[in-house]
Structure 1
Amino acid sequence: MEQPAAHIKGRIFVSCKRENHYSREMILDQHALVYVFEGILELSYADQLHRFTKGTTLLIPCRQLGRLAKLPTDGVPFRSLSILFPEALIRKFYASDIDNPDGGKWTGHLALEKHPLLESLFSSLVPYFELQEELPPTLADIKIAECLTVLDACNPDVRRLLSTFNQPGKVNLLEFMEQNFRFNIPLEKFALLTGRSLSAFKKDFIKLFNTSPGKWLTQKRLEHAHYQIAVKKYKPSEIFIDAGFENLSHFSFAFKKHFGYNPTECG
């Protein structure tokens, strides 16, 4: 059971989960700042799993492919506060000093060390969520600008992360797909994240793998699932989402069609 839906306050919102909550694939269209008030936040990429506990602050860049899990601890609901940074507001804040000196695309998150200014900032935002009316957009912009000021003072890497607005550059297709095949996203998203148009993505994919993206993804996901069930001893219901399938029935059907037996008979 979950508390009432998160209170949306412009581009600032809180999340409260009484039970374990696992997100589907996540690709943010804006940079996000997350502060964990209670519980554990898990952030997973292709081959990495990171756990963040109470009092953690982290920046998640836009166009970062991953999944989130929000986990209560010791009977206490998970609570977090998130702030989304619109590109226009970031550019306005940094004015002409927005160029990323190191260039390229920021990969992964940025975990920030505890700082009195950050603690004070998040504490000041909590009372707004007890209001019945929406937080006015102008006030939200003021608080976001204050947040950017605090972040800029806390860690020099913040500016580097927030300064990455460009579309992803062309990346190694083989390496990217081998790392991210378990994420169930449309081919258009795979094309975007690899720096290609959809037509160029399909053309490059067939040339590299000698098969279509759809067939390759299904086979890779089923092989991964088979290993998790037969060797790691996971139940089908525990791994079908991680393997990139929409639901258990679709996974079971595809598994039997490919291997000739049900996933429950595996191992």
Structure 2
Amino acid sequence: MEHVSKYLTPEIKLSCYEDHFFKSEIVFDQHMLVWFISGETKIVQAEATHRFQTGDIFLIPRNKPATIINYPKDGLPHKTVVMLLTTKILRDFYRTIEVKTKITAVPKIRSFSNHPLLESCLTSLIPYFEMQGQFPENLAALKITEAISILRAIDPEVDSVLANFDDPYKVDLISYMEKNYMFNMPIEKFGYLTGRSLTTFKRDFKKAFNTTPQKWLTQKRLELAHYQIAERKVKPIEACYETGFENLSHFSFAFKKQFGYAPTEVAQARYVH
């Protein structure tokens, strides 16, 4: 897999994947504004699955688990311009602004497909990626401020996401895990996102589920994968990547150990009936 990232600053980059596809489980520590130049992305979250392609612009909120699968399309690589809206930048921006909207505790992806103002802002960055030498910091700051200002102008509710600087608070563990078990994150990250230390998370998990996190997560992911293949006609490789498994061989081994037959046998049985 060939992946090339060109950075103007730590907050602004051009990302390009040339290979068949790239998949990752991610919880972003910062908000991300993404503009699609070419290719396609599938983002699987607890409440919805999104597809984005050429011309789309969207905002991925921080601290939101997601499985991200990037594909080339129409003979072109998966290429995006990515702008990180960091907590520091946003605190500085909002320091002198009175926010009147209600803060959203669990924000969703916000889409701004083909919006001319945002596209103009992000397109203007392209020539700088071809330049030699350092990108001026003050110019980078102006570009990010411009992007934030445009977002606020075209989306009256975006302050509810961007002006929220709180760490995750302690949430109901059973409800959170039932909604987010398919994301392959370290146990420490599950703890952080539920507002717990690792020790408290493990203790609360044992009390709630009467087993270890790893055993419970594996079983839930396998059950979801079985359902997707058998009932939703999803291909085994897609079910593997969308239910939190790292690779197909490990998934197939765990699946057969759990159910007594391979995921390919479930897929084949659909055609027999």
TM-score by length of 1: 0.88
The match for 2:258 is 258
Kept in 2, the 8 Å contact 1:39–1:73? The answer is: yes
Q: Distance in 2 between matches of 1:40 and 1:106?
A: 25
Q: Distance in 1 between matches of 2:265 and 2:78?
A: 37
- Indicate the percent of aligned positions where both proteins have the same amino acid: 45
The match for 1:240 is 240
Displacement after TM superposition at 1:102 (Å): 1.4
The match for 2:175 is 175
Q: Distance in 2 between matches of 1:64 and 1:100?
A: 24
Q: Distance in 2 between matches of 1:80 and 1:26?
A: 17
- Where do 5+ consecutive residues of structure 2 fail to align? none
Q: Distance in 1 between matches of 2:79 and 2:247?
A: 28
Displacement after TM superposition at 1:216 (Å): 0.8
State the SS of the aligned residue for 1:240.
helix
Q: Distance in 1 between matches of 2:114 and 2:228?
A: 38
Q: Superposition pairs for residues 62-141 of structure 1, below 5 Å?
A: 62-97=62-97, 101-112=101-112, 114-141=114-141
| Aligned Cα root-mean-square deviation (Å) | 2.4
The match for 1:5 is 4
State the SS of the aligned residue for 2:151.
helix
Q: Distance in 2 between matches of 1:33 and 1:179?
A: 25
Q: Distance in 1 between matches of 2:238 and 2:69?
A: 14
Residues 196 and 154 (structure 1), Cα distance of their counterparts in 2 relative to 1, 3 Å cut: same
Kept in 2, the 8 Å contact 1:6–1:13? The answer is: yes
Code of the residue aligned with 1:84 in structure 2: it is L
Q: Distance in 2 between matches of 1:229 and 1:218?
A: 16
State the SS of the aligned residue for 1:7.
strand
Residues 173 and 129 (structure 1), Cα distance of their counterparts in 2 relative to 1, 3 Å cut: same
Displacement after TM superposition at 1:92 (Å): 1.2
The match for 1:44 is 44
Count of aligned pairs between the two proteins: 266
Kept in 2, the 8 Å contact 1:171–1:194? The answer is: yes
Displacement after TM superposition at 1:63 (Å): 0.6
State the SS of the aligned residue for 2:129.
helix
TM-score by length of 2: 0.86
Q: Superposition pairs for residues 134-153 of structure 1, below 5 Å?
A: 134-153=134-153
Question: Which has the higher mean CA deviation after the structures are superposed, 181-190 or 98-107?
Answer: 98-107
Q: Superposition pairs for residues 17-56 of structure 1, below 5 Å?
A: 17-56=17-56
